[in-house]
Structure 1
């Protein structure tokens, strides 16, 4: 047993000698640790201890010869700076410090390291320019450089890129780099394959030299300040699979004959530029195309029927162009199509029957075109359809549309205002379905009738817009049973009566904790409330109660103070009377309060000045009196917020309030004058009587 114990001890000793990293490498790693902020080092100090084997430290990997080969510390919550001492790890090949909070500069010792092949410092707070230095090694081994999502500035240092002959992928997106796109990358790096420069400040033209990148598979330079046309040379890079230049200032004609040379293309994104031209008939040569983004350009013409041959296409966005003609010319038997946005164009005719065969369609937007007629009945077979926007067309027969769409069991967003001109709102209580509907807009139609009872069944409804119709009657008592509803707009109708107590008991408007019940997922397509105002998530919508421009009467109930989550109140242009309840001052989340054009009396509550988020305030054309609120944002509102209330006073108004001291002084002066007049009359009278007595005595 003693002999076996000795053998085990010798083996353990030998193992510890052979697995231990060098003193220099241990010291370099500890220098890096020392630059991290105490308490924000990801508990590395529990593992990285002097005198222990650094090859066993957390995040550190070594080769068989015990040299450090990799340091991987992603998402550790690290703060502090990046120590250049890591550059002393002569065998380091992989350094990953991504998704932390490191600040300061990126040491050039790491960028120009003689062995690092993969360097990832993305999603940190690193700053400053990348220094223009001439590396000693003109054949740097770096293959992947990810410096995205930091705060880097300045231009790309051309001398460094010239030495990166092995570079394959560069991701510098989401920074503040400026100047021109480096044109020499592919010349110096023949295997270069991935370039992502999105969300920076690059300007100038797209360098034609990128066409020499024979291995380039992905290029993304969206959201910059690029100008000019797409260079023809770019279409020589026939290995391209992903070509993306959205949100720039590109101009010129979209040359389809050049684009279709890229027959490996899966993603083509040229949205939000100034491109003109048509989609070519040869678009079907892009057999692998999965995404086509040409939105927000100046393109025109009819869609080629050959678009229906792009059988792999999943996403089409042609929004906000001048495309015209009938969609029915395209055979939409595209089984992989998930999202299609044809809005804000000049498409005419009816919705094509073939679109009902896109069995995997999730989102369809046809808004702001010249479509007419009824929806094809088979659109109710789109079981995956979640988002449908029909706004501002000339669709008819709303009853039929409701009956068709109730079969779309996954429908969560239904936007179809400005259609069904003057039809009657369906009142059939037996209408069911829509069990997953979260957004419903039927504004500006203008529909007649009442708020329909079938809406009470939509238990998941969060946003309801019935504004600008000709609806009559009362707000239904079941409104508070829509437990998730937090956006209600019934403005510009002919609804009457008092504000019902049910409206003051809306659960989502009462308690902050209820907001956790809202769906946190992104919408399949953004909902555009205005041309420039869009929402991508339901919980981004403001909490709104808009009753403006109706025929409501009575007073504003004090129970309104319960709706603490409200952002917007609009009770304007009704027949409300009485005073503004003090309880309204409890709504500290209010951003807009409009009570204009009513018959409201009394004084404005001074506590309104405590509504610090208020950016719009209007009580004009009422019968209010007394001083207007002062302080904070109330000092920024114009006098138009108070016009038509002649008895209001304040510094902003022509009618200045009399201060208490001045008022008391005025009263005191009046009292003195009054007393003086009395004394004058008394003493004057006595003097007159005395004089009369004197004359009488003299006569006697």
Structure 2
């Protein structure tokens, strides 16, 4: 007797369908959280059209604009509330507590709004959060202390001031740190080398002063170092030339002096040191590197002779 095509018992088939259906639904706690969050945003912002009931399936938040779920829609992994007109939320802790109640949340993007504060729950209670994007808001004051393990932190295009705190270098899992387009002053922390996983360090358009700490040369995974438009001074530290992963280094519009380190373009694709006060001869190997695409040394004072 050939048993290859034994019929599937109807009860087993029904049971399989029920299990499959159940696995594709959010847990009741996340469904409740999203429903409450939607109601809160509707009552505290001027624009709730992105989560409007007439165009959204209220029983399936995974279909809502900006909601990211795992492949079978059984839990939420990310929220993008970018350009949601978040500016009149009366109780920031209330909505952020709801967001942090989603224990599987890894990504939160609230960029392009008019938020003035990062509420405390986002600093300490979102234990699984890896990506936090608060760019293009109205943040002011000092950079807050984070007690969560982030991999990407974007606070660019705000009005933050004060110094870059040493505490930020305790976020040892960071691969991207973007603090550009703020009003930060003071030095780049010498403890920056604690961020051993850092791939992008973006600090342009601030009022940072002092020199580049030589410890930056210990960031062995760094790919982009952008320091443009600050008040940085001193010499460009030679250890930067030893970062084998570094592809882009921009430090234009600063007050750097001294000579360009030998071998600075060894691994680079793009170098911009324009609008500085550099002196000395042009390194003989500056333009001979195979991966080099662009070099901008305009408005610097360099000898025409080579080393």
TM-score interval, normalised by the smaller of the two chains: 0.7 to 0.9
- Kept after mapping to 1: 8 A contact 2:153/2:177: yes
- Kept after mapping to 1: 8 A contact 2:57/2:63: no
Residue 310 of structure 1, aligned match among 205, 208, 219? 219
Match of 1:393 in 2: 300
Between the aligned partners of 1:315 and 1:167, the Cα distance in structure 2 is: 31
Relative contact order: is structure 1 or structure 2 higher (C-alpha 8 Å, sep ≥ 6)?
2
Match of 2:155 in 1: 245
- Kept after mapping to 1: 8 A contact 2:77/2:106: yes
Runs of 4 or more, structure 1, over 6 Å off, are 65-70, 109-112
Residue 188 of structure 1, aligned match among 73, 76, 101? 101
Between the aligned partners of 2:118 and 2:96, the Cα distance in structure 1 is: 9
CA apart distance, 1:172: 1.7
Residue 328 of structure 1, aligned match among 228, 233, 237? 237
Match of 1:353 in 2: 262
Match of 2:118 in 1: 206
Residue 228 of structure 2, aligned match among 312, 319, 330? 319
User: Cα distance 1:220–1:356, how it changes in 2: closer, same or farther (>3 A)?
Assistant: same
Q: Trace 1:167-316 onto structure 2 (pairs within 5 A).
A: 167-179=76-88, 182-202=95-115, 204-212=116-124, 213-232=126-145, 234=146, 236-237=147-148, 239-255=149-165, 257-316=166-225
SS in 2 for 1:324: strand
- Kept after mapping to 1: 8 A contact 2:195/2:219: yes
- Kept after mapping to 1: 8 A contact 2:190/2:215: yes
User: Cα distance 1:354–1:105, how it changes in 2: closer, same or farther (>3 A)?
Assistant: closer
Aligned alpha-carbon RMSD (Å) = 3.2
Between the aligned partners of 2:122 and 2:21, the Cα distance in structure 1 is: 39
Between the aligned partners of 1:208 and 1:314, the Cα distance in structure 2 is: 32
- Kept after mapping to 2: 8 A contact 1:205/1:228: no
Between the aligned partners of 2:283 and 2:263, the Cα distance in structure 1 is: 10
CA apart distance, 1:330: 3.4
Match of 1:118 in 2: 62
1:64-96 alpha-carbon deviations (Å, 9 max, x no partner): 4797999xxxxxxxxxxxxxxxxxxxxxxxxxx
1:463-522 alpha-carbon deviations (Å, 9 max, x no partner): xxxxxxxxxxxxxxxxxxxxxxxxxxxxxxxxxxxxxxxxxxxxxxxxxxxxxxxxxxxx
Residue 53 of structure 2, aligned match among 67, 85, 108? 108
Q: Trace 1:573-652 onto structure 2 (pairs within 5 A).
A: none
User: Cα distance 1:329–1:386, how it changes in 2: closer, same or farther (>3 A)?
Assistant: closer
- Kept after mapping to 2: 8 A contact 1:287/1:312: yes
Number of equivalenced pairs: 262
CA apart distance, 1:186: 4.9
Between the aligned partners of 1:321 and 1:250, the Cα distance in structure 2 is: 15
User: Cα distance 1:206–1:372, how it changes in 2: closer, same or farther (>3 A)?
Assistant: same
Q: Trace 1:59-78 onto structure 2 (pairs within 5 A).
A: 64=17
Q: TM-score, normalised by structure 1?
A: 0.35
CA apart distance, 1:329: 4.7
Between the aligned partners of 2:222 and 2:98, the Cα distance in structure 1 is: 31
Between the aligned partners of 2:50 and 2:117, the Cα distance in structure 1 is: 29
Residue 383 of structure 1, aligned match among 290, 294, 298? 290
User: Cα distance 1:108–1:338, how it changes in 2: closer, same or farther (>3 A)?
Assistant: same
Between the aligned partners of 1:318 and 1:310, the Cα distance in structure 2 is: 15
Between the aligned partners of 2:64 and 2:224, the Cα distance in structure 1 is: 31
Between the aligned partners of 1:113 and 1:254, the Cα distance in structure 2 is: 43
- Kept after mapping to 2: 8 A contact 1:244/1:268: yes
Task: Flag the structure with larger Rg.
Answer: 1
CA apart distance, 1:190: 2.9
- Kept after mapping to 2: 8 A contact 1:311/1:336: yes
CA apart distance, 1:333: 0.7
Between the aligned partners of 2:208 and 2:244, the Cα distance in structure 1 is: 26
User: Cα distance 1:371–1:195, how it changes in 2: closer, same or farther (>3 A)?
Assistant: same
CA apart distance, 1:320: 0.8
